Structures are given as C-alpha cells and as structure tokens.
Amino acid sequence: MNDSALDFARALIRSRRWRLGPAIALMLAVPLTEGIGLALLLPTLQAAGMDLRGQGRADRLARAAWRTLGAVGLRPGFFGLLAVYVIVAAARAVLERNRGVAVWTAQQSFADELRQRLYAAIVGARWRFLARSRTTDFLHALTAEIERVGAAVASALTLAGEIALSAVYLGAAIALAPAITAIAIAAAGALALSLNARTRRIRERGEELTRATNLLYAAASEHLQSLKTARAYGAEGRNRELFGRISGGIAAVNIGVEREQVAANSWFELGAAALLAPILYVATRVVRVPPAALLMLLLIFMRIMPRAQSGHLYYRNLVSLLPSFFNVRALEARCAAAAEPGENGIAACAPKSAIRLEAVSFAYVPGGAPALDGFELAIAAGKITALAGPSGAGKSTVADLVMGLMAPDAGRITSDGAPLTEANAAAWRRNLGYVGAETALFNLSVRENLLWAAPEASEADLWAALERAAAAEFVRALPGGIDSPVGERGALLAAGERQRIAIARALLRRPAILILDEATNHLDYDNEARVLDAIAEARGRMTTLLIAHRLSALRRADLICVIEAGKAVESGGWEELNSRPDGRFRALCAAHRLVA
C-alpha cells in the first residue's frame, strides 16, 4: 500500500484498538477453516482410491494429514472424511457470516467516532473561523464524506481478509511446489505493478469526486433556500440548469471512476489468464510436478485467482475512497487549530456595574474596512441599552463582541472592570440569553425547543416564559398545544410566532444579560409592545442590549447609542436625543415619521 493507505490503517487501528478484535479474530479463523479443508483433500483422495505413493510432496503431506487426524483420535474412512469436510465447510460459513457482521460493526463505529469528533471540533471552533467557513463544507464532511470513510473501512478490512485467505492458499501451494509458487507470486506482483498507473488515476478520480460532491452540497443548500425567491422571479429554469450542470459533473466523475475500475479489473483478469498458461507449462514440462500435486495446484490456483482479483478490487476501492478520509481529517485539524478555550472551571459572573467597550476596533477581514473603529459604549447593569443606526453600521458586530463570540482587534471589553477574554468567554456566555433576526428553531415540539435552552425548567417555568414573550395564547391554540411540532426551522409557524418562541426560550434561561438583535422585526406592534414591556419590567434584574429595526421599539431604552460607520456618534435617552434639532437620532426618527 502507499503511505496514505498506511496512514489510514494506523488511524483505524488507533481508533478501534481492541474493538477491532472480533473482526480480526474472524478474519484469521475463516482462513484457518479453509486451510483445514485443503489439508483434508489429499487424505480424501487417498481414501477414494488414488495412489499417492511416489508422488513426492503430495505423498508426504497426505501422510502428515493422516498423522494429525490420528493425533486427535480420528481414523475416518472415505465417508467419514467427507463428513468432516462438510462440518468444516459449515463452520467456515458461520464464521464468514459473523465476519461480515464484525466488519459492518467496525465500519459503523469508526464512522460514528469520526463524525462525532468532527462535530465536536466544529462546534468548539472560534466563531470568527466558523463565520469565514462555508456551512455546506461541514455538512458535506459530516454526511457524504463520512459515509465514504465507512466504505473505506469495509474495503480495508475485507482486503485484509482476502490477503489472509490468499496466504493460506499460497502456503499450501508452497508446500506442494515451492518453485512454481515462487514464479506465480513474482508474476502476480508484476501484474499488480503494471496496474499502478491506473490505480493512481482511480485515486485522482476519488479526489475529484470529493470536490464535486462538496460543490453539489453547496449548490443544493443555496438553491433550496432560495426556492421562494426563484419562484417569485420565475427563475426555476435557470436554477435547474445550474443544478443540472453540477449534478451532471458528479455523474461524469462517477462514470470515470467505474470506467477505471472495470478496465483495471479486465486487465487483471486477462493478465492472470495469460500468466497461468506458461506457469502450468513450466510445472508440467520443466519442473515435472507429480500428477497429484499438479491437481492440487490447479485447484489452489483456481481458488486463489478470484481472491487475488477481488483483493485488488478492494484495494482500488480503498484508494478511491481515501481522499474522503483525509478531507475529513484535514477539516477536523483546521477546526481544532481554531478551537476556542473551554470554560476551565471559571465561574459565570453577572455584571454588577457595567459592561464597557473601550476603544474597540474590529474588522471581519484582516486589513479590510473596520466594522467598528474606536467604538466606546457603557452598558449599565440592570438597564436597557439600545443601538440604532443604518444597516451595516456595526450594531450586530457589537452584539457578537459582547457575547464573546469574537475578540476585538484593538481595545477591550470589560465587565465591572474585568476584561472579557477568550479564556473566560465560554463561562461568560452562561449568563446570556440571545435572540437574532434569523430564528433558529429545531424540527421538534415547542416544548422541546424551549427545554433545549433550559433542560431543568419546570412546566410552570415554560408557561411563564411563553407569557412574557406574548406566545402563550397562540401556543395553547396549536393542535397539540405546547407539544405541537414546529417543523423544519419552524416552518409550521408564522415568522412572528417563531420569534416569540425564540424570545421565550431566551427568557427561560433567566439570563443576567439579554441580547435582542432585530428579534422583534416580525412582530406586530401589539405583540412587540407586550414583549418589550415584559423586558422593561425586568430592569434591575436583567441587563438588556436591544437592536431593533423599528425605532419605536427603543422608547423603553434607558440609553440609546447611535452608530455610524463603526463609531458611536450620539447617545442619550429617547427624549434627550429627540430634543436635539440637528441630532442623528432625531433625523432617523423623522425618517420613520416618529417626530415632526
């Protein structure tokens, strides 16, 4: 095998260790029964009347087999030997079946471990790394690539079984005719080497397939998410054409892989047949192998050739699947390199005075335009602080930084004077409740979506949170009440209902800090007012950072900070800011017809 295949084998052994034991034991037991069956053939032929005297190694091997049978207390006749052979064949069939189960178990458990490790690495990576990565790359690796890795495990273990079985046949052949067997092994090795170039092309095709399926996952995700827009624009045909080109590319790559496999298989079969004839000529005319030994050699070669052919097929399959393993491993390594420090036993601590952003600068792309530039803000503990400003001003960036999802490029964020760092960010987030503009609900029931955020919550807690989020009434009206499914990403609910469930989920955590980033933009004015009134009632107990598209939602804020181009240009209360004739906030309110 090449180095990469050996790397894969080492990874499999390190991962499975003793759990590979049953598969390995059965892979050894199956060839053992095959060897016993072969050893019984010569005594059976002798018992049937064939005279092996003077047949050289065949005679000696037959006498050795009779001595072994006698040593275990067996002296069977012809029919007795046939019965023993049938029993051995039955045992082999049982072992073969169990070997298949053991291989499947090893395949699935390795794929499961690899999938869980990759998922853990993804969710443990820094948010900045995740934001710069394509979600479909992760999805592709967790699904299609892991499935191909599982198939690689099956190919590797089956190949090992074929090698072990072929070794038994070769051992028997060497015992009968070592010179002829050596010639056959050398010829088979030369045949395998002659197919190396085609094997390399199979690996290249495997790498192409990894890239092509990754592209398909990305296209499928984008197209399915844009179905509504495509329907509105009448662009379904263009989408079908784009998707069809990508899908056709994958079909072409798969056909190419199969073409290479079939060609390699045909060349191997043809080469094996071409080699067998001269080997038999040498055996009969040059080395003059005795008839009984020649008969056994023919039987062995007829049994070993399909094994060699299938073994090479499994090897080629393994080579074509290996790129998926290395793709998954490389992605896991990239995520691990970007890992965020864990909580390390740091206790969560709610702010008692203020959360401060001090001269904070941040750019999403190194060297790019800053999303925040020397930004200053004090978020008073127990108060409602709101952010206002045009789209792209940096409001959501402030929210992400306050959550500790990303670290500033310059400046610092503190809570009661203690800096928020990567080391304590995970513990800090235990204080938080967060609702964004894009509502993230799972394809579960309302209850399960709520309990996902606070597993220890009681029934009373659930309904109290729903009441505060103005969601209790519509949840009671659902066909299954709180146990009604919400559908994929909450598709069975209206946009405003999804947001209210998400707000209830955040409030259920009883957070010390609540961050609402455009979290009420789908609510009608009445329900928005009810939600914001409930939040206002929590003053003194909960610190709130509020970003709202509708400026009217900011009336309850204790402090409103206006952001433009990543800088704080104005701050104050609602009445104070609207009293400034040339103020930026007053201009925004005038644009929304909130002031004369």
CATH code: domain of residue 224? 1.20.1560.10
Asked if pLDDT for residue 284 goes beyond 80, the answer is no
The one-character DSSP state at 354 is: E
Residue 348 within a domain: no
User: Which tokens is 377 given?
Assistant: 């803000």
User: Which tokens is 478 given?
Assistant: 């659902």
Counting every residue written for the chain, the total comes to: 596
Asked if pLDDT for residue 559 goes beyond 90, the answer is yes
- Give CA–CA dist 224/135, Å, rounded: 14
Rounded mean pLDDT, 559-575: 92
Do 265 and 386 fall into the same domain? no
**C-alpha distances in angstroms, 324 versus 8, 56, 414, 508?**
11, 52, 44, 42
Residue 345 within a domain: no
Which pLDDT value is given to residue 1? Answer: 42
Asked if pLDDT for residue 179 goes beyond 90, the answer is no
Which pLDDT value is given to residue 65? Answer: 66
Work out the pLDDT band at 560, boundaries 50, 70, 90: very high
Does residue 177 contact residue 283 with C-beta atoms inside 8 Å?
yes
Asked if pLDDT for residue 267 goes beyond 80, the answer is no
- Number of independent structural domains in the chain: 2
Rounded mean pLDDT, 32-48: 68
Do 70 and 194 fall into the same domain? yes
Flag the least confident range among 177-186, 291-300, 490-499.
291-300
Tens digit of each residue's pLDDT (9 = 90 or more) over 62-95 = 666 666 766 666 677 777 777 777 877 888 788 7
- Give CA–CA dist 481/246, Å, rounded: 43
| Percent share of the chain, pLDDT over 90 | 24
Which pLDDT value is given to residue 355? Answer: 93
Which pLDDT value is given to residue 376? Answer: 93
Residue 569 within a domain: yes
Asked if pLDDT for residue 233 goes beyond 90, the answer is no
Which pLDDT value is given to residue 39? Answer: 67
Work out the pLDDT band at 463, boundaries 50, 70, 90: very high
User: Which tokens is 457 given?
Assistant: 């919550």
Rounded mean pLDDT, 444-455: 91
Do 270 and 235 fall into the same domain? yes
Which pLDDT value is given to residue 439? Answer: 80
Among 308, 337, 366, the domain-final residue is 337
Asked if pLDDT for residue 203 goes beyond 80, the answer is no
Residue 75 burial (CB < 10 Å; 0-12/13-18/19+)? exposed
Do 407 and 501 fall into the same domain? yes
Residue 298 within a domain: yes
Which pLDDT value is given to residue 545? Answer: 94
Do 449 and 495 fall into the same domain? yes
Does residue 76 contact residue 84 with C-beta atoms inside 8 Å?
yes
Rounded mean pLDDT, 186-197: 74
Asked if pLDDT for residue 56 goes beyond 60, the answer is no
Do 397 and 450 fall into the same domain? yes
Does residue 271 contact residue 264 with C-beta atoms inside 8 Å?
no
Among 304, 337, 370, the domain-final residue is 337
Does residue 170 contact residue 297 with C-beta atoms inside 8 Å?
no
Residue 145 within a domain: yes
Residue 347 within a domain: no
Do 163 and 209 fall into the same domain? yes
Mutual angle of helices 236-281 and 196-225, in 10-degree steps: 160
Rounded mean pLDDT, 143-149: 90
User: Which tokens is 366 given?
Assistant: 């190194």
Rounded mean pLDDT, 386-393: 89
Residue 343 within a domain: no
Do 155 and 234 fall into the same domain? yes
Asked if pLDDT for residue 8 goes beyond 70, the answer is yes
Residue 516: which of 479, 490, 471, 553 has the closest Cα?
553
Which pLDDT value is given to residue 12? Answer: 79
Does residue 95 contact residue 26 with C-beta atoms inside 8 Å?
yes
The 3-state DSSP class for residue 571 equals strand
> Does 258 or 559 have the greater pLDDT score?
559
SS3 content of the chain, % helix, strand, coil (to 5): 65, 10, 25
Do 285 and 402 fall into the same domain? no
Which pLDDT value is given to residue 38? Answer: 65
Asked if pLDDT for residue 173 goes beyond 90, the answer is no
Asked if pLDDT for residue 595 goes beyond 80, the answer is no
The 3-state DSSP class for residue 545 equals strand
Flag the least confident range among 164-178, 238-252, 440-454, 529-543.
164-178
Flag the least confident range among 44-58, 351-365, 414-428.
44-58
Work out the pLDDT band at 187, boundaries 50, 70, 90: confident
Does residue 127 contact residue 406 with C-beta atoms inside 8 Å?
yes
Residue 169 within a domain: yes
For residue 354, list its beta bridge partners.
Answer: 380
Do 277 and 385 fall into the same domain? no
Flag the least confident range among 49-63, 206-220, 491-505.
49-63
| Percent share of the chain, pLDDT over 70 | 83
Where is mean pLDDT largest: 43-52, 176-185, 554-563, 582-591? Answer: 554-563
What is the C-alpha end-to-end distance of the chain, expressed in Å?
80
Does residue 488 contact residue 519 with C-beta atoms inside 8 Å?
no
Among 337, 372, 394, the domain-final residue is 337
Which pLDDT value is given to residue 4? Answer: 67
> What range defines the domain where residue 582 resides?
354-591
Do 513 and 373 fall into the same domain? yes
Which pLDDT value is given to residue 237? Answer: 78
All residues at 6 or more sequence positions from 353 whose CB lies less than 8 Å from its CB, including other chains: 380, 381, 416, 417
Do 91 and 159 fall into the same domain? yes
User: Which tokens is 544 given?
Assistant: 């709130």
Asked if pLDDT for residue 238 goes beyond 60, the answer is yes
Helices (H), 338-421: 395-402
Asked if pLDDT for residue 181 goes beyond 60, the answer is yes
